[in-house]
Structure 1
Amino acid sequence: MRKHLSIAAGILLTIAIQSALAGDPAYPAKNIPAALKENAHLVKRLDETIIKVNDLTDTRITYHYVTTVLDEAGAEDVQLYEYYDKLRDIRSISGALYDAEGNLVKRLKQSDIRDISAVDDASLMTDARMKRHQFFHNVYPYTVEYTVELRYNNTAFLPYWQPQDDIDCTVEQSKLMVTVPADYALRYHSYLYAGEPVSTADKNTKTYTWEVKQLPALKTEAYPVEFYRRTPSVFLGSTDFELEKYKGNMSTWKDFGTFIYKLNEGRDALPDNVKTKVHQLTDAVGSRAEKINALYKFMQQNYRYISIQLGIGGWQSFDAAFVGAKGYGDCKALSNYMMALLKEAGIKSNCVLVKAGPAAHTIREDFPSFQFNHVILCVPDTKDTTWLECTSNTMPAGYLGAFTDNRPVLLIDEKDSKLIRTPFYSMDCNEQRRNITATVDSAGNIDISATTIHSGLQQDELHSMIHVLSEEKQLEQLRKGLDLSSYDITGYHYKELGTAIPAIEEKIQIKGHNYATVTGKRMFLVPDILSRSGRKLDAEDTRKSEIKFDFPYRDIDTVNITLPDGYQLESLPAPVTVSGKFGTYSSSVTLKGNTLNYVRRIEHKSGVFPAADFPELMKFYATIYRSDRNRLVLVK
């Protein structure tokens, strides 16, 4: 199942199974409304989450869900997987499988549940484990039912409720019930949920209930906003909380930042030998920027990223002495270590919590809570701020790539923790400038020599490739990325240019086979050799999601093609220019002697655009798609 497919009281499962054993079918597939089968692979028949906060160190959660799998495409997404560690434990798991008529096929046996480590390739050590189970059944439709009971020893990480897990999952009925002590201040934030939760109270407790019914499948939409903004979702947050005897409050970002600061306070003491090294590197260096660069390079050359997550270690850093002695650390430990190096050199810096990921540019800024998965370092100054990605051994100081750029982050400070933003890289930063010289022979074969400068966010993937992959694997990736029907790469070379906004020069030599089409006396040639757009959008009826582009970019191609002797121009593509909300595009072709000159330029804007603008986007991309494939015709 996609985490979590849902939830409810354990007694409901028992009743359902007892009914099935008594001969009464449970959840026959024929009872699913036709509207919920349309465009769906899964149907949540019943989905309940019950949360009971007993005190700051005891939260009980029951997930109960009944899901009908309509076809093979939904089978993988209905498996159960539940994590546990020192902060939460699994009290019980039960389940059952039903056939299309709703008859009980089998019950879950505890011996069928796999208990495995949740360690990943980047982790040296973790206490996280996972319990997994899947009913393997291939007669569709069928229905699975699970009940999972958990206990959290804290109130810091309250789960969220999102009945739909993906666009192809429909929902008959889903409910969230949260019970808290009468004096406990529960915070919540909802999206696309009509009205307020139903609230009830007695002498000792308060209960909040959210419920939705009959949620149909969503339509596939190009470039949508985050999924939780497209379907009913409810996020929960604590005020006072306790995490392994550390108490805090997250009513405001400042309060939350104060908790993180105190959790890591006093962990920046460096070993004496490292202090000596800091002064050797910086005492004779003049400028502040040079000191930062010297210490950052020292850390990159001598320390590496390894994740170690034990208990509260997901939020509390290993101290600087540990990193200094071991030569490794996770994102928190390395950022804290770099902060200690700078402190020894007389430069103040702050650790920063960030929700990292190329598609994670937003958080719920008006809802303070645990929304972060990474730590970086901010070195503030009156004129300029330097950002450091301390887990990278190759990125230049001051640059953050698509993993952490342009998003709200929480700066951790002793007195003034607050949300700030990481750098936004403008169109001028994110460029791809390509120059091509090529020669076409009379058979339509082409020799290509291309030099491309990739900069900013447009060099991120290439940067990773040349630092991680072998030359053989680099060539393999390069071959996959060229839009040519038949070709050989005869040479390639990459060079990092060492600029403030990182840039990589790429040189490629290619022999293309039958690039131009020769038919009788005529030759048909597409002048756009390497930059043809693959974006071709279908019309979307009743578009709902806003349109989201995370970063702007500029591509400029200049192509000079030497044509074969004996051919004359018969027709030339007309110049194309288009400009609108999403950017500008132009292309032009000229011929001088037997040399063809082609210039293509696109500037694509970033931002969030209204759903009503989708027809304009579709037209913009259609124009580019057609123009990139325009052909000129030569005749003997």
Structure 2
Amino acid sequence: MKLNILPFFLLLFSVFSFGQKLEYSTSTIPDSLKLNANAVVRLSEINIDIISQKSMVIKAVQITTVLNELGLRSLDLSESYDKNRKINKIEATTYNASGQELKVYKRKDFKDTSVADGFSVFNDNRALYLDYTPIAYPFTIVFVTEVSTSNTAFIPPWSPVDDYLVSTEKTSLTIYFKPELKLKKKEANFSDKYALEKKETDSSISYSSKNLVAKKREELSPSFVESFPFVYFALENFALENVEGKASNWADFGKWYYQSLLVDTEGISEETQAKLKQLVGDEKKPIEIAKIVYKYVQEKTRYVSVQVGIGGWKPMLANDVDRLGYGDCKALTNYTRCLLKSVGVPSYYTVVYAGTDETKDLQNDFASLQGNHVILTLPIDNKLVWLECTSQLQPFGFQGDFTDDRNVLLVKPEGGEIVKTRVFAETDNLKYTKASYEINQDGNFIGKAKITSKGLQYDNEFGKERMSREDQIKNYKEEFDNINNLKINKITLNNNKDKIEFTEDLELEAEGYAQNSGVKLMFALNAFDQSSYVPKKYRTREFPFEMDRGYTNEDEIEITIPEGYIVEAKPNGIEQETEFGYYKIEFNTLSSSKILCKRKLVIKKGFYDKSKYESYRKFRETIAKTDNSKIVITKA
């Protein structure tokens, strides 16, 4: 009997096809987008509707195929909310490699959590997030959100590139707005390498791109926001936590900031004013008065974050900080400003991007709500002095690498001004090592070292004084990892906050520092400051490279060899001067038993074309090789 199998086949096909999205199948991704990729953004579509000065809706669809476990890092399955930011819709759907639907996640499946920073005593910011663990790779996830907010001061920037090692198949952003709100835009890092399409009308603007291949992160590359295309947006007429603002430039923006967020916070009690005047006494110099006030704030207050509504941007009342003894960066900075004002020393509340994250500079040509931190600026003797008011440890007037070398906004009553914080030159960031050691006939090492650090090198080192003895020893063993079997016998630290200078006096020893062959000993003369760093070699480099800070290391090390030994072979010194820096090391014979190793290394701050990368790499290779130069001594 002949069976008709066609209906049965169609039934199986219909069952298999139900819930299947063939366009989500991994097989439909072009091979070029899989190359070097841990994930592929199949579609990123963002639509922003700015309905009014106090109303904005953001709709987003992100479809991502995660190719391997590392690709999970590219997923952000979360959305934040607060009393002025509502999540109208949030859901996700997962698909397997062939595009078959696995599971749909609704709002109830998302976890609700505080986004407190660990320091906040008050924080109303929360987030919904999906804690998703895949059962197999690759998989595809569709993430859909809709958010409405009354804060139009923040319009998210757009980039066609999600991250390193992530390809993009199709991406777009569209913004609809009322012309009277005056949408501003800034395009950065646009080039022919990225095919971007833009459409613009009086009430809308859109950007799109497709088929962008994944890029590998390269050593010493500039930050992500400096390397890839970005578009930034802002309204001239905006709202922040129901406070309306208007600013076409930084002067206007700073004036709005002062009048809306600072002017009504300045009250200081008569009791505190009297106490300050007593502390200041007959002192007339503004810089010395400021030091007295700064010390008073450091001893009286501690850092605690407050992030509720406008409190995320508006500082606590100065009187409340005075009464409670704590505050966040805004509150403590404003409090210090108000104290200084009460004793006749002017200063400016200053907005900055702090830290070493991707974004470091406020954009001086694009006035908008920017920054993640606040410091204080004192105009004294035609100079600007910067104060970090959240720290109980930072010396007066010292910034460190948390806020150095970047554009900041001075908020003045008459308006805002963009200035640059201190740039530390390579000569400012000095570490000087004066040391001596002797080698005995067994190859053992015993020595002393005095290390003095200034500038940003001070910033790197002064935290050692707060370490436990155990952690100090661990740190030194890592620092001098070229000395095997190292034993630290004595540690004396001195933190001179007036000079901003940190000194380390060490006594140390090590068994078997020299290789001992019975009649000969071989060891590296430069025991205390070896640089082994050599940048990675690339067959073809794509990005420029950058040294964002320069520094200088100088060393004088006196070496004593054991009695009855003579020098059989001693390394030659070398001197190299390049556009990247300077290196000189010399090994001078002082007597039959003493050798002086003198070394100077200067690395310059700079931004360089990719064509120069190999020259820099060879410069560092020479330093690493020469720093480890060894002497051979033998019994006479």
Contact 1:79 1:135 in 2 (8 A): no
The range that moved more, 338-347 or 588-597, is 588-597
Q: 1:199 corresponds to which letter in structure 2? A: K
Structure 1: how far apart are the matches of 2:607 and 2:253?
A: 29
Structure 2: how far apart are the matches of 1:24 and 1:358?
A: 42
Q: 2:553 corresponds to which letter in structure 1? A: D
Partner residue, 1:191: 188
Do residues 517 (structure 1) and 515 (structure 2) align? yes
2:166 to 164, 169, 175: 169
Q: 1:437-456, aligned counterparts within 5 Å?
A: 437-456=436-455
Q: 1:194-273, aligned counterparts within 5 Å?
A: 198-199=198-199, 201=201, 206-262=203-259, 263-273=261-271
Partner residue, 1:595: 594
Question: Size of the alignment, in residue pairs?
Answer: 614
Partner residue, 1:14: none
2:535 to 537, 547, 551: 537
How many angstroms does 1:402 deviate by?
A: 0.7
Closer/same/farther in 2, CA of residues 166 and 453 from structure 1, 3 Å limit: same
Closer/same/farther in 2, CA of residues 576 and 200 from structure 1, 3 Å limit: closer
Structure 1: how far apart are the matches of 2:350 and 2:623?
A: 40
Partner residue, 2:7: none
Do residues 478 (structure 1) and 493 (structure 2) align? no
The range that moved more, 120-129 or 190-199, is 190-199
Q: CA RMSD in A?
A: 2.0
Structure 1: how far apart are the matches of 2:473 and 2:249?
A: 50
Do residues 338 (structure 1) and 336 (structure 2) align? yes
Contact 2:33 2:213 in 1 (8 A): yes
Structure 2: how far apart are the matches of 1:292 and 1:619?
A: 48
SS of equivalent residue, structure 1 residue 176? strand
The range that moved more, 591-600 or 282-291, is 282-291
How many angstroms does 1:374 deviate by?
A: 0.8
Closer/same/farther in 2, CA of residues 165 and 473 from structure 1, 3 Å limit: farther
Do residues 503 (structure 1) and 494 (structure 2) align? no
How many angstroms does 1:363 deviate by?
A: 3.2
SS of equivalent residue, structure 1 residue 266? helix
Partner residue, 1:631: 630
Q: 1:583 corresponds to which letter in structure 2? A: G
Q: 1:604-619, aligned counterparts within 5 Å?
A: 604-619=603-618
How many angstroms does 1:283 deviate by?
A: 3.1
Structure 2: how far apart are the matches of 1:577 and 1:479?
A: 29
Contact 1:20 1:26 in 2 (8 A): no
Do residues 327 (structure 1) and 352 (structure 2) align? no
CA offset digits 1:263-307 (Å, max 9, x no partner) = 211211101211111110113224222211111111111111111
Structure 2: how far apart are the matches of 1:171 and 1:183?
A: 34
The range that moved more, 186-195 or 234-243, is 186-195
How many angstroms does 1:99 deviate by?
A: 0.9
Structure 2: how far apart are the matches of 1:465 and 1:597?
A: 29
Contact 2:89 2:107 in 1 (8 A): no
How many angstroms does 1:542 deviate by?
A: 4.4
How many angstroms does 1:197 deviate by?
A: 5.3
Partner residue, 1:489: 488
How many angstroms does 1:215 deviate by?
A: 1.3
Structure 2: how far apart are the matches of 1:137 and 1:91?
A: 26
Partner residue, 2:5: none
Closer/same/farther in 2, CA of residues 187 and 286 from structure 1, 3 Å limit: closer
Do residues 45 (structure 1) and 42 (structure 2) align? yes
1:32 to 14, 29, 35: 29
How many angstroms does 1:580 deviate by?
A: 1.0
Structure 2: how far apart are the matches of 1:509 and 1:428?
A: 28
Closer/same/farther in 2, CA of residues 171 and 513 from structure 1, 3 Å limit: farther
Structure 2: how far apart are the matches of 1:482 and 1:130?
A: 45
Closer/same/farther in 2, CA of residues 166 and 444 from structure 1, 3 Å limit: farther
Structure 1: how far apart are the matches of 2:294 and 2:90?
A: 48
How many angstroms does 1:356 deviate by?
A: 0.7
The range that moved more, 303-312 or 87-96, is 87-96
Q: 1:491 corresponds to which letter in structure 2? A: K
Closer/same/farther in 2, CA of residues 280 and 596 from structure 1, 3 Å limit: same
How many angstroms does 1:19 deviate by?
A: 11
Partner residue, 1:565: 563
Contact 1:41 1:71 in 2 (8 A): yes
Contact 1:26 1:103 in 2 (8 A): no
Contact 1:361 1:550 in 2 (8 A): no
% identity of equivalent residues: 29
Partner residue, 2:102: 105
Partner residue, 2:574: 576
Partner residue, 1:179: 176
Do residues 62 (structure 1) and 56 (structure 2) align? no
Closer/same/farther in 2, CA of residues 476 and 125 from structure 1, 3 Å limit: farther
Query: If the length of structure 1 is used for normalisation, what is the TM-score?
Result: 0.92
Closer/same/farther in 2, CA of residues 432 and 19 from structure 1, 3 Å limit: farther
The range that moved more, 388-397 or 529-538, is 529-538
Partner residue, 1:410: 409
How many angstroms does 1:496 deviate by?
A: 0.7
Higher Cα radius of gyration: 2
Closer/same/farther in 2, CA of residues 235 and 348 from structure 1, 3 Å limit: same
Contact 2:185 2:233 in 1 (8 A): yes
Structure 2: how far apart are the matches of 1:154 and 1:363?
A: 20
Contact 1:135 1:144 in 2 (8 A): no
Structure 2: how far apart are the matches of 1:375 and 1:182?
A: 33
Q: 1:493 corresponds to which letter in structure 2? A: T
Structure 1: how far apart are the matches of 2:532 and 2:602?
A: 16
CA offset digits 1:430-456 (Å, max 9, x no partner) = 110011111212222211211100111
How many angstroms does 1:196 deviate by?
A: 7.6
1:285 to 283, 286, 289: 283
Structure 2: how far apart are the matches of 1:24 and 1:217?
A: 24
CA offset digits 1:111-149 (Å, max 9, x no partner) = 331111111222222111122213211421111110111
1:146 to 118, 128, 143: 143
The range that moved more, 451-460 or 536-545, is 536-545
Partner residue, 1:546: 544
How many angstroms does 1:365 deviate by?
A: 2.1
Partner residue, 1:158: 155
How many angstroms does 1:361 deviate by?
A: 4.1
The range that moved more, 380-389 or 269-278, is 380-389
Contact 1:199 1:206 in 2 (8 A): no
Unaligned runs of 5+ in 2: 1-14
Partner residue, 2:130: 133
How many angstroms does 1:64 deviate by?
A: 1.0
Partner residue, 2:86: 89
Partner residue, 2:435: 436
Unaligned runs of 5+ in 1: 1-17
Q: 1:246-395, aligned counterparts within 5 Å?
A: 246-262=243-259, 263-358=261-356, 360-395=359-394
CA offset digits 1:544-592 (Å, max 9, x no partner) = 4332222221100111121123322111111111111111000011232
How many angstroms does 1:214 deviate by?
A: 1.4
How many angstroms does 1:54 deviate by?
A: 0.5
Structure 2: how far apart are the matches of 1:20 and 1:188?
A: 45
SS of equivalent residue, structure 1 residue 265? helix
SS of equivalent residue, structure 1 residue 339? helix
How many angstroms does 1:607 deviate by?
A: 2.7
Partner residue, 2:115: 118
Contact 1:197 1:208 in 2 (8 A): no
Partner residue, 2:4: none
Contact 1:293 1:397 in 2 (8 A): yes
Partner residue, 1:9: none
CA offset digits 1:481-520 (Å, max 9, x no partner) = 33233322222121112334x1110122222232211235
Structure 2: how far apart are the matches of 1:608 and 1:200?
A: 34
